[in-house]
A and B are shown apart, each in its own frame.
Chain A
Amino acid sequence: EVQLVESGGGLVQPGRSLRLSCAASGFTFDDYAMHWVRQAPGKGLEWVSGISWNSGSIGYADSVKGRFTISRDNAKNSLYLQMNSLRAEDTALYYCAKASKDQAVAGSDYWGQGTLVTVSS
Chain B
Amino acid sequence: DTEVTQTPKHLVMGMTNKKSLKCEQHMGHRAMYWYKQKAKKPPELMFVYSYEKLSINESVPSRFSPECPNSSLLNLHLHALQPEDSALYLCASSHPGLAGGPGYETQYFGPGTRLLVL
Q: Does A pair with B? A: no
